A and B are shown apart, each in its own frame.
Chain A
């Protein structure tokens, strides 16, 4: 079971959190004119590589905040957890 540091609440066990996938996905701005391809890429393409992965988690059984975790996808080592509005 992973041990994740919620940037708001501290160290908690994985079962308090929900996963949210690739944190680098950026939703296009509303009303912005973009190509079909750009849109489809936003909907369907994600980073999913071996090694360092920046991803979203939500402290669902805690403060309910979404935040970012930098984790190694092959060892599960967590390098850093930061608030949603922070960058690595």
Chain B
């Protein structure tokens, strides 16, 4: 495979960039694979990559209904963090942070991982205490966390509202300095390019129409581009989990909801952290292009629409202005929606299923993007070894039967109330 580097870039400039290789090929599906990953998002591509890299399983196909990265991988607000309270979430995410730090070099593709730090603002002493519990838990798990006073917050993000005309004054914040952002599309393309180079078939415009299951075992998958024989299938289709589960006669503790995000027009750098509002649901960062990337609440009713309604955005932006009044003067440039797998406790599922050879990766709620490498890594392990890794042991399906729930927010099963 061609190496990407400054030298190669210069070299290729003199041939007018006519000699770059395909980042990934466009193969027709074979009749049989060892493993088929359904879903060409970040998680699916990462899974295929780690199957090849860590487990030497390369006779793998990724089947994607549309174009790779067209789902939530390309619709998120690119935030990467491991600021979780529960050990299962924290240790899994922190394992992922390590993979993020190495990713550009590992994939030879600049994914622009930028550890710019995330600040969760707190607006009361009670909230400081809740954040303290989480921050201390992070520290005891070996994850960086800093508690900031109001003055310290002001120093870092002076554009937040420190005036008197404020409904919820800022009391302080919890910061994870090593958290940050990355270029979402680059993550998809980087994994795709490497997976492809190791022999994985990336098959786009290929829709799953059914499964071949008999005797409780997976035998194959039916697609719009023909039937494929396979013994192991990894389902990695956040947003469409329920649609595919139905074809398997399964019901999964996941509801499908819409989350909107928007960006402002690009402006010169003014905000170099990720900041979340504590008196509502709003988060913001500024992209390398200069756009303010903003997100918040779910639209609040089950949705597959990939298009949202304005009241939610209005609500989200209201909180944005409450946090940083200067945003009021900027213009909202682009909005979009992503279809979320909202699990019943807010945490994901990476597990085997009652069908032999069928593995499930879903329920990522708002947190799928940052989990991309760790999810791919652990899912690949689960598929290759036919057993969960200790990192994803907490993400079992049967926790909804045993009561070992991972409810970071304490909101229970009303997934639409965020």
Interface positions of A (Cβ within 8 A of B): 1-2, 14-15, 19, 21-22, 36-37, 40-41, 43-50, 53, 55, 71, 73-76
Interface 1/0s, chain B 100-119, versus A by CB < 8 A? Answer: 00000000000000000000
B310 contacts which chain A residues (CB < 8 A)?
1
Minimal beta-carbon separation of A87 from chain B (angstroms)? 20
Closest residue of B by beta carbon distance from A43: B413
Question: B253 near A: Cβ within 8 Å?
Answer: yes
Tell me the chain B residues, 333-350 only, with Cβ under 8 Å from chain A.
Answer: 344
B2 beta carbon closer than 8 Å to chain A: no
- Known contacts A14-B311, A40-B401, A44-B400; decide if A19 and B243 are in contact (CB<8 Å): no
Total interface residues in chain B, CB < 8 Å: 24
A contact residues around B400 at 8 Å (CB): 40, 43-44
23 contacting pairs across A/B (C-beta < 8 A): A1-B309, A2-B309, A14-B309, A15-B311, A21-B302, A21-B414, A37-B401, A43-B400, A44-B400, A45-B252, A45-B253, A46-B251, A48-B242, A48-B255, A48-B256, A50-B304, A73-B256, A73-B302, A73-B303, A73-B304, A74-B304, A75-B305, A76-B303
The answer to whether A1 and B401 touch (CB under 8 A), given A49-B246, A73-B305, is no
- Residues in A with CB closer than 8 Å to B309 are 1-2, 14
Asked if B66 is at the interface (CB within 8 A of a chain A CB), the reply is no
Minimum CB distance partner of A69 in chain B: B301
Count of CB-CB pairs between chains A and B under 8 Å = 63
**Chain A positions within 8 Å of B300 at CB level:** 19
Counting chain B CB atoms within 10 Å of each CB, which of A1, A2, A45 scores highest? A45
Find the B residue at minimum CB distance from A50. B304
Interface residues of B (CB under 8 A from A): 242-243, 246, 251-256, 300-305, 309-311, 344, 400-401, 413-414, 416
- Chain A residues with CB under 8 A of B243: 49-50
Docked pose: A14 CA to B416 CA in angstroms? 15
- Given the complex, which residues of B lie within 8 Å of A48, measured CB to CB? 242, 254-256, 302
Please report the C-alpha to C-alpha distance between residue A25 and residue B20 in the assembled complex, in whole angstroms: 55
CA A19 – CA B413 in complex, angstroms? 13
Other 5 A-B pairs with CB < 8 A, given A21-B414, A71-B301:
A19-B300, A40-B401, A41-B251, A48-B242, A73-B256
